[in-house]
Chains A and B, each alone.
Chain A
Amino acid sequence: AQSVSQHNHHVILSEAASLELGCNYSYGGTVNLFWYVQYPGQHLQLLLKYFSGDPLVKGIKGFEAEFIKSKFSFNLRKPSVQWSDTAEYFCAVRGGGSYIPTFGRGTSLIVHP
């Protein structure tokens, strides 16, 4: 069965620090990859997605992610976080002809002002 691992469950950073959240998946075929964000009290929003092409994907709010096929990874990065980035971040992977993405357990990010 396909699985998605987000190794960092809780991350605490100060403003202006750099961020990298890990995401690894188990499926070896063609995949679609997503990062979603859930701000406190708000619904899940799409940050960025990768379907094909340039493996470095840029999303909203200065986030980017890099698809490394050989490492089965799709890590999320931001060079300088802000207090407003405090949220829960979910990685999701879709593959194997399934329409349904598998989600990781999420990473809770707290940014101190």
Chain B
Amino acid sequence: KAGVTQTPRYLIKTRGQQVTLSCSPISGHRSVSWYQQTPGQGLQFLFEYFSETQRNKGNFPGRFSGRQFSNSRSEMNVSTLELGDSALYLCASSSDPPETQYFGPGTRLLVL
């Protein structure tokens, strides 16, 4: 099976802009989770989608949003970018009921 894929791999934006990241889960996996990874903070959970519905949400501001499509692919959007949003954004997929999460390579976002 192909692994979790994320596009784009690298992104440079300026403050105030918005960005959309994409994630394609492993075939058959219906749960998709998003994490923000920064040095020293580890992985911070953003949200989880299952069957096109947000099932869990972390403690991030409303500027961070996501959605899931009928084919389980997911997108996350960050509006009004801030410098502190610079991070590696990871997507993970799992089966349901969730067993183990499998991670994609991430999208590295740099906000200038």
Contact = CB atoms under 8 A, between A and B. Distances in A.
B104 A101 contact: no
Given A43-B105, A46-B100, A99 B56 contact: yes
Which secondary structure dominates chain B's binding surface? Answer: strand
A70 to B, nearest CB: 25
25 contacts: A9-B40, A42-B105, A43-B4, A43-B90, A44-B92, A44-B103, A45-B103, A46-B100, A49-B100, A90-B42, A90-B43, A92-B43, A98-B56, A99-B48, A99-B55, A99-B98, A100-B33, A100-B48, A100-B56, A101-B101, A103-B35, A103-B43, A103-B45, A105-B41, A105-B42
Contacts of B64: none
A104 B106 CA distance: 18
Interface string B70-93: 000000000000000000001010
Size range of the chain B interface in the assembly = 20 to 34
A46 B3 CA distance: 13
